[in-house]
């Protein structure tokens, strides 16, 4: 499988597959394809995996696209202005991503639900109690809200992130929350009560325009109309 990401801030990933190769995506992500790409809708696992994907922000079923009789072409478009990142999964690398980050992947990649081990991080960290985990083997494509900024953390090294800005991180990283210190900071700082703390080792990718922040910014204007 070969791929090319185009479109700038409104990106699309265009994949060229060999005969018999299969790509998996969430429903509605396919933008265009060659006529020989056969689509099959599947639960891609048992009932537990189906509801696990639903809880992690994805649709109940997945679409499988397979090239029939020769090479095929298929494109998957992002649902929000930002970036599409291609991430090789395997050889010991797994990632944990925000809800609805998964766009598409090769058939060897497994999408599953990821629970926060610490309840505090789930309830107050701004990313939700349930996230997505990508494991297995193959190339995966994920959506980033806005632009992506990447840091590589050494063992024990930390970065403090405002809620919602974590796009994805290596599964070797851990996530927790801390309260914003000082009553005056909490009441008048405008940053909320909690921040997310990511601890290495591993890579963490942050996003500059979380969709939740965009929704909050436009909500007063929509309500006024």
Which tens digit of pLDDT belongs to each residue from 93-115?
A: 999 998 889 999 999 999 888 76
Answer with the residue of higher pLDDT: 223 or 92.
92
| CA distance linking residue 224 with residue 48, whole number of Å | 42
Mean pLDDT, range 157-179, rounded to an integer:
90
Tokens 């190339």: give the residue: 139
Listed by start position, the domains of the chain span: 2-220
Mean pLDDT, range 185-200, rounded to an integer:
66
Answer with the residue of higher pLDDT: 163 or 102.
102
pLDDT tier at 45 (50, 70, 90 boundaries)? Answer: low
Mean pLDDT, range 143-165, rounded to an integer:
94
- Between the CA atoms of 34, 21, 60 and 32, what dihedral angle is there, to the nearest 10 degrees? -20
Specify the fold of 2-220: Double-stranded beta-helix (3.60.160)
DSSP code of 17? E
Produce one character per residue of 122-154: b if its CB has 16 or more CB atoms within 10 Å, e if not: bebbbbbebbbbbbbebbbbbbbbbebeeeebe
126 pLDDT exceeds 50? no
190 pLDDT exceeds 50? no
| CA distance linking residue 159 with residue 179, whole number of Å | 14
Q: How far is CA 65 from CA 11, 133, 150, 177, 197, in A?
A: 20, 22, 31, 40, 38
Instruction: Confirm if 121 and 176 have CB atoms less than 8 A apart.
Output: yes
Q: How far is CA 118 from CA 47, 66, 122, in A?
A: 26, 40, 7
Relative to beta strand 102-106, strand 138-145 is antiparallel
Mean pLDDT, range 177-193, rounded to an integer:
55
DSSP code of 180? P
pLDDT at 192: 52
Give the bridge partners for 15, in sequence order. Answer: 3, 74
What lies within 8 Å, CB to CB, of 50 at 6+ separation is 43, 60, 61
pLDDT at 148: 95
pTM score, whole prediction: 0.82
Mean pLDDT of the chain: 83
53 pLDDT exceeds 70? no
pLDDT tier at 176 (50, 70, 90 boundaries)? Answer: confident
187's enclosing H/E stretch is helix 183-188
**What does residue 201 show for φ and ψ, rounded to 5 degrees?**
-95, 150
């Amino acid at each position: 499988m070969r791929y090319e990401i185009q479109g700038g801030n409104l990106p699309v990933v265009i994949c060229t597959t060999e005969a018999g190769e299969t790509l998996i995506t969430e429903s509605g992500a396919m933008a265009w394809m060659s006529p020989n790409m056969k689509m099959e809708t599947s639960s891609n696992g048992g009932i537990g995996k189906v509801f696990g994907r639903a809880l992690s922000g994805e649709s109940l079923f997945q679409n499988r696209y397979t090239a029939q009789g020769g090479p095929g072409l298929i494109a998957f478009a992002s649902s929000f202005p930002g970036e599409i990142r291609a991430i090789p999964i395997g050889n010991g690398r797994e990632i944990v991503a925000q809800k609805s980050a998964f766009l598409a992947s090769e058939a060897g990649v497994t999408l599953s639900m990821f629970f926060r081990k610490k309840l505090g991080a789930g309830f107050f960290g701004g990313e939700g109690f349930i996230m997505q985990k990508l494991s297995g083997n193959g190339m995966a494509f994920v959506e980033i809200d806005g632009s992506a900024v990447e840091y590589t953390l050494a063992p024990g090294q930390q970065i403090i992130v405002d809620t919602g800005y974590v796009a994805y991180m290596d599964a070797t990283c851990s996530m927790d929350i801390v309260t914003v210190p000082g009553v005056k900071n909490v009441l008048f700082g405008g940053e909320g009560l909690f921040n997310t703390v990511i601890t290495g080792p591993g890579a963490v990718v942050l996003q500059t325009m979380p969709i939740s922040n965009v929704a909050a910014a436009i909500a007063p204007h929509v309500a006024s109309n």
